[in-house]
Amino acid sequence: MKFVLKNGVTREQAAELAKAMFEKCYSTSQTMAVNSEFSHAFRILSGLVGAFANIEFCEAETFVQHVRLFSAASQGLGRSREEGRILMHYCINAICETFPDYSIFRVRNDSYSASIPILIYLDNWLACEDSKLEDIV
């Protein structure tokens, strides 16, 4: 699994969007009480989208580390893993609705397959009951 940008998108454009997404997630988390579930969820999401601006994120090892962190943190929200996944789904949904260009950040299985937006991929992957990290790395 490799992190790629949509065709025709420069690193500068991607970094700018990642910064905007990070700021939105962070400001949303600040709006709520710091100890609320949604505040935690948006802070976790801000960590992930902020990393999109980092060129090193394209490297397989860094990408896997971030996904690992994101996955563990998401499933730690709420009273159970399932609740954490559901809450993160709605936070991802809110960010995707805010930034229609979110799809410039994509993942691809191998160089011949079609890429899909990383947020959609992670959301679908979190939604799977038997999601395992091995599936993504």
CB of residue 38 vs another protein: minimum separation in angstroms? 5
Position among 94, 116, 120, 136 found at the interface with another protein (CB under 8 A)? 94
Total binding residues toward another protein, as defined by CB under 8 A = 26
Give strand pairing partners of 107.
3, 116
H or E stretch including 23? helix 11-31
- Mapped onto helix, strand or coil, the DSSP state of residue 66 is helix
Spatial separation of the C-alpha atoms in residues 79 and 87, rounded to whole Å: 11
Helix H segments across 37-136?
A: 37-51, 60-75, 81-98, 118-127, 133-136
CB of residue 35 vs another protein: minimum separation in angstroms? 6
Which of the ranges 10-18, 50-58, 66-74, 91-99 carries the binding residues for another protein, by CB under 8 A?
91-99
Spatial separation of the C-alpha atoms in residues 104 and 20, rounded to whole Å: 13
**By the rule CB under 8 A, 91 interacts with another protein:** yes
CB of residue 137 vs another protein: minimum separation in angstroms? 23
CB of residue 133 vs another protein: minimum separation in angstroms? 17
Q: Which residues in this chain contact another protein in the complex, by CB under 8 A?
A: 24, 27-28, 31-33, 35-39, 78-83, 86-87, 90-91, 93-94, 97-98, 129
